[in-house]
Every structure is written in structure tokens, then in C-alpha cells.
């Protein structure tokens, strides 16, 4: 008895010609994502001067720099929570609609317009003479126009407009993935709308909501153009991406710039891991009848 | 569908629709403000501009050299779509059809760029590209944009490919189809709707991708969104109407592709593959 050929043994473990098709894509990701990432990590511990950790010391000892972490979180966390808090009830309403397409199309619009267009539009719309202030003054909610641009609220508005549709679409797809028979069963047993939501839907939705929270948070955390155009980039909306960009491409210190970029990625991953870790306390099982 | 008819749930229903309506109203306001301003002769401190004109479009087209910017944008975007399409579909096919040791690591590798802020990997990648002499070049912009778009194609295509019964391929093999004709005559027609959807979405995303292009683009490799950013950033030098005219041109280009994409995909299924319930 001879042993099977190498080719046969590899195929039995899942390696054959078809498996090799991943190689080009894998090579691109290794070359353009992993290599630069490792390069950046190495670059960040090779500062222009001082010991290997000098860049991180520079960042964490200068309040102008390390406060960018707090100001980024102070924007990203409330925005994410607000977006999710609005997305869930609206998704629950929309799920009952027969014509979802028009609404979802309107809501996808701001994602594709991108932050730069939205920032440009908000500068006019929210400005002291913009329609938003004019309407509020006209109906008597305000005596004088509010200052809404070039501060925290301008960036906040921009993140809600570009982030809410995304959170909504994700939530909607999770909500519609829940088998309606489950809700009907709960209703048959006499649960009212509130009970059905709190005791049936919410536990089933938690895993999906955790993922939605993470993805929406990643988007809000990466805020860059709107913080420059609509915010106060030297003051309260000096977010960490501005700090990283300035270090790398305005002071031409790519070592410090990548160090800040690494801090940015680390802070963001910590939040994502906390949220995904908390998810494991909840039910994780099939939510759809046939989806499994 | 079960509906509660109590007063509280009526108020609740109204509140939810009111919030959704306010959001859409503000969204329309933002877009309309840009559009109206781009046609305004003068608009200071009034509800609507004094007069309307189209001259800003001509001046924006000349002032920002938009003809070359639009051309460069489409060259870059279509190159990104082509490369990420070819590589993404082959990778997704292998990942959908084969199980091999280390597959989870590979899948994680394709997930990570979508979970990390673009600037975090963009800054080191841009540094590497500058050192390779690709900074400010066409290929620099294409390469940096591949990082989020290739994983996107892979992740959208995997479920599409998994839906296709492998026995169809086996049957084609039995009847003597080679790999080439199997791909061209069996897989491609079956995959085409999914590929079109994925590629159109990559197209729209790449047109709108500001952060990464901004890091690497030079004067001759700026896309529309980066030019728009510079125009808004340096406003005061140029007429606001001219910038808004450019913004409208930008909006029309993304909108065209978005509407095309929506013919093929239901947006709520882009992000997760949930079972759609027939509305009752």
C-alpha cells in the first residue's frame, strides 16, 4: 500500500487549486494592510530623538495632544448612543411598512454624500442666517439665532446626519431578521407591545445592536473632515485624527504621526472589545425561523 | 401583523414618525441649502436669494479645473473597482467553497480594515507609499483605496457565492466543463447580480472616500471629494456659490451611481443578510 500523493493529502485538508485563489487577495492585504501596520508600529517606536517610547511620552504628557482622546470620545460616544436610540424605534416602525424602499433610499443618501458635502451644506443650513435658525426664530422657539457652526454642535449634527442612516439600515436588517412567528406567539400569550419589545425583541436584538454600536462607533470615532470644517479644530473638536494628521503631514514627523494613529486604533479597539465582551452576557442563538 | 390600538401606542407611533420626519426634513434642508446657494446671485440674510443664475457652474468648472478632476476621479474609481472586483470575487469564491486550517485568520484579516478607522492604517500606509515614491501619484491613490474596498467586495460576495449550489458546478464538471468554461458559463451568470451590486457599492464608497485619498493625493491625483474639501477649507478666497456648485456636481455624480446600485440591491440587505419577511 503506498501512501496517497501529497496533492491528495493536501486536498483532504482543504488545500487545492481553488484554495489558492485566495492568494492574490491575501497578498494585497498583507502588502497594503499588515506590512504598513507593522511598519507603522516599528516606525512609532523609532522617534526622531530620545528613547523608543519618546513619541508616546510626547503624546501622553502634552495636554494639547492627550486631550484629543477625550474630545473624540466625547463626540463619538454620545453620537453613537443617540443614533442607536433613534434607529431602534424607527426600525421597528419601518419593519411594518409595505413600501420600505423609498424611505431607505432617502436614508442611504447622506452616507453616499459623504462628510465633506454634509459639512458644506450644514455650514449654510445651520449658520446664523440659515434656514434652521430662521425657522426656530419664526416659530418663537428662539429669540436670536443660535451659534451652531464652528463648534461642538456642528460636528455633532454632521455625525448624526451621516451616522444615523447607517445605524438605521443595520438595525433594520437585524430587526427584519427576527422571525415574526416569535412575536405572534408572544402576542397570543397576551404580551402587549411594550412587553413584546422588552422581553422578546430586545434580548434577541442585543447581539445585533452590539455589532451596530461598534460599526457606528468606528465611523463616529474616525471623524475628520467635519471636525475641521464644521468644528473648532483648535479647540473642543480637536479630535485625535486631526492630531495624527497634523503630526504626520504638517510637522512632517511621520514617527509621531503613526504613534498617534496607533493610540487612536488602540482606544477604538478597547471600546469595541468592551461592547462585544458585554454582548456575551446575553442570549446568543438563532433569531430567525429558518435562518438558523 | 399585530397592532396595538391604545392611546399610548398611538402617541408613541406619532412620536416615532415625527422624529423620522424631522430628520428627513433637516436632511432635505441641508441638501436644498447647497443646491439653492449654487444658483444664487446674492443670498445674504433672507429666506431665499435675490436672483437665480447658472454662472457659478461655469466658474466652478473653470476655477477648480473640474473637467480634469472628474476625469481623474473616474479613472481612479474604476481602477479600484476593477482590481477589487477581480481579486475580491476570486478570494470570496475560495473562502466560500473551501475549509482549510487558518481560514478564520484570513477572514479576520479581511474584517479588520472595516473595523479600524481609516486614518489608523492610512497614515502608516501613506508613509510607506511616500517612501516608495508613490506619494501624490495615481497608483498611490488607487492602492490606498484598495484597503477598504477589497475586503468589502469579499464580505459582500461570500454569502452570494454560498447561495449557489455546489452541485451545479459538479454537474458541469461531469459534463466535461474545464475551469475556464465553468467560470464563464456557469459561475459568472449566476454571480453577476451580486457582483454588480458589490461593485457599484464599491464605486459609490470610493467616490465618497475622503480620508484615505486626502492622505496621499497630489495636485494631479485629487478626486472630486478632496478638491471639494480644499475648496470649503479655503473658503473666503472663493465665492461660496462657486463651492456649492462644485458640491452639487459632486452630489450628482454619486447620486447617479447610487440610484443605479439601488436597482440591484435592497439597502437594508447590504449590511447583513437577513431574511426578508413578506409584509403582511
pLDDT band at B87 (very low <50, low <70, confident <90, very high): very high
Cβ separation A25–B87 shorter than 8 A: yes
Residues of chain B positioned with their CB less than 8 A from the CB of A287: none
> Which residue in B98, B125, B204 is closest to A18 by CB distance?
B98
Q: Which residue has the cell 447617479?
A: B256
CA distance to partner chain A, nearest, from residue B248 (Å): 9
Beta strands in A89-188 (DSSP E): none
Is residue A170 over pLDDT 80?
yes
Give the closest residue to A230 by CA, choosing from A117, A114, A122: A122
For chain B, first and last CA: distance in Å? 6
pLDDT at B278: 39
Cα gap B230→B215, rounded to integer Å: 13
pLDDT at B268: 60
Provide the 3-class DSSP secondary structure of residue B69.
Answer: helix
Q: What is the pLDDT of residues B36-75, one digit of tens each?
A: 988 888 777 777 887 788 888 888 888 888 889 999 999 9
Question: Among positive and negative, which fits the CA dihedral A68, A69, A72, A74?
Answer: negative
Lookup: cell for B56: 457659478
Q: What is the pLDDT of residues A113-164, one digit of tens each?
A: 888 999 989 988 998 888 888 888 888 888 888 888 888 999 999 999 999 9
pLDDT at A291: 43
Cα gap B139→B144, rounded to integer Å: 8
Provide the 3-class DSSP secondary structure of residue A271.
Answer: helix
Cβ separation B91–A170 shorter than 8 A: no
Cβ separation A39–B118 shorter than 8 A: no
Chain B residue closest to A103 (CA)? B24
Cβ separation A258–B127 shorter than 8 A: yes
> Which residue in B9, B124, B233 is closest to A258 by CB distance?
B124
pLDDT at A262: 92
Cβ separation A169–B204 shorter than 8 A: no
* Mean of pLDDT over chain A: 86
Length, in residues, of chain A: 292
> Which residue in A122, A173, A222 is closest to B271 by CB distance?
A173
Cβ separation B272–A174 shorter than 8 A: yes
Cβ separation A19–B100 shorter than 8 A: yes
pLDDT at B8: 82
Q: What is the pLDDT of residues A62-72, one digit of tens each?
A: 888 889 999 99
CA distance to partner chain B, nearest, from residue A21 (Å): 6
pLDDT at B76: 95
> Which residue in B88, B116, B267 is closest to A108 by CB distance?
B267
B96 CB neighbour count, 10 Å cutoff: 18
Span of A55-69, A94-108, B179-193 with lowest mean pLDDT: A94-108
Q: What is the average per-residue pLDDT within B96-113?
A: 89
Lookup: cell for B178: 474545464
Is residue B122 over pLDDT 90?
yes
Span of A67-76, B76-85, B94-103 with lowest mean pLDDT: B94-103
Is residue B272 over pLDDT 50?
no
Q: Which residue has the higher pLDDT, A132 or B262?
A: A132
Amino acid at each position: 500500500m503506498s501512501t496517497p500523493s501529497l496533492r491528495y493529502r493536501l486536498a483532504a485538508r482543504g488545500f487545492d487549486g481553488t484554495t489558492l485563489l485566495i492568494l492574490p487577495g491575501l497578498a494585497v492585504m498583507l502588502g497594503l494592510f499588515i506590512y504598513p501596520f507593522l511598519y507603522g508600529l516599528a516606525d512609532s517606536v523609532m522617534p526622531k530623538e530620545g528613547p523608543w517610547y519618546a513619541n508616546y511620552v510626547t503624546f501622553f504628557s502634552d495636554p494639547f495632544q492627550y486631550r484629543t482622546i477625550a474630545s473624540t470620545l466625547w463626540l463619538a460616544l454620545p453620537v453613537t448612543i443617540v443614533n442607536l436610540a433613534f434607529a431602534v424605534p424607527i426600525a421597528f416602525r419601518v419593519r411594518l411598512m409595505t413600501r420600505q424602499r423609498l424611505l431607505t433610499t432617502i436614508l442611504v443618501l447622506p452616507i453616499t454624500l459623504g462628510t465633506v458635502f454634509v459639512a458644506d451644506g450644514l455650514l449654510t443650513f445651520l449658520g446664523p442666517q440659515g434656514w434652521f435658525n430662521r425657522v426656530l426664530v419664526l416659530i418663537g422657539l428662539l429669540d436670536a439665532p443660535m451659534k451652531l457652526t464652528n463648534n461642538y454642535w456642528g460636528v455633532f449634527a454632521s455625525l448624526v446626519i451621516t451616522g444615523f442612516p447607517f445605524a438605521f439600515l443595520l438595525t433594520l436588517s437585524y430587526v427584519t431578521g427576527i422571525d415574526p412567528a416569535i412575536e405572534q406567539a408572544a402576542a397570543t400569550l397576551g404580551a402587549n407591545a411594550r412587553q413584546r419589545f422588552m422581553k422578546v425583541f430586545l434580548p434577541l436584538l442585543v447581539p445585533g445592536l452590539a455589532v451596530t454600536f461598534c460599526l457606528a462607533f468606528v465611523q463616529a470615532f474616525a471623524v475628520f473632515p467635519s471636525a475641521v470644517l464644521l468644528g473648532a479644530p483648535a479647540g473642543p473638536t480637536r479630535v485625535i485624527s486631526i492630531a495624527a494628521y497634523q503630526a504626520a503631514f504638517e510637522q512632517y514627523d511621520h514617527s509621531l504621526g503613526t504613534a498617534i494613529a496607533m493610540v487612536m486604533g488602540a482606544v477604538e479597539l478597547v471600546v469595541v472589545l468592551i461592547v462585544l465582551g458585554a454582548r456575551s452576557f446575553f442570549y446568543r442563538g438563532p433569531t430567525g425561523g429558518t435562518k438558523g | 401583523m399585530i397592532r396595538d390600538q391604545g392611546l399610548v401606542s398611538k402617541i408613541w407611533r406619532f412620536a416615532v414618525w415625527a422624529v423620522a420626519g424631522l430628520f428627513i426634513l433637516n436632511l432635505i434642508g441641508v441638501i436644498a441649502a447647497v443646491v439653492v446657494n449654487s444658483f444664487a446671485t446674492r443670498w445674504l440674510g433672507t429666506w431665499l436669494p435675490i436672483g437665480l443664475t447658472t454662472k457659478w457652474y461655469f466658474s466652478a468648472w473653470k476655477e477648480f479645473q473640474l473637467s480634469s478632476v472628474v476625469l481623474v476621479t473616474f479613472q481612479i474609481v474604476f481602477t479600484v473597482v476593477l482590481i477589487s472586483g477581480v481579486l475580491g470575487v476570486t478570494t470570496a469564491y475560495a473562502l466560500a467553497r473551501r475549509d482549510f486550517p487558518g481560514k478564520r485568520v484570513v477572514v479576520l484579516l479581511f474584517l479588520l480594515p472595516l473595523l479600524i478607522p481609516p486614518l489608523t492604517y492610512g497614515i502608516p500606509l501613506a508613509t510607506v507609499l511616500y517612501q516608495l515614491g508613490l506619494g501624490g501619484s495615481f497608483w498611490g491613490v488607487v492602492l490606498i483605496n484598495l484597503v477598504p474596498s477589497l475586503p468589502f467586495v469579499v464580505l459582500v460576495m461570500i454569502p452570494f457565492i454560498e447561495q449557489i449550489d455546489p452541485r451545479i458546478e459538479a454537474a458541469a464538471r461531469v459534463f466535461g466543463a474545464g475551469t475556464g468554461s465553468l467560470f464563464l458559463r456557469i459561475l459568472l451568470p449566476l454571480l453577476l447580480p451580486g457582483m454588480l451590486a458589490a461593485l457599484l457599492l464599491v464605486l459609490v464608497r470610493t467616490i465618497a472616500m475622503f480620508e484615505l485619498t486626502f492622505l496621499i493625493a497630489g495636485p494631479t491625483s485629487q478626486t472630486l471629494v478632496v478638491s471639494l474639501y480644499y475648496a470649503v477649507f479655503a473658503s473666503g478666497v472663493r465665492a461660496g456659490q462657486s463651492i456649492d456648485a462644485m458640491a452639487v456636481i459632486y452630489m450628482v455624480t454619486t447620486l447617479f451611481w447610487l440610484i443605479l446600485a439601488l436597482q440591484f440591491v435592497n439597502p437594508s440587505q447590504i449590511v447583513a443578510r437577513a431574511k426578508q419577511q413578506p409584509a403582511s
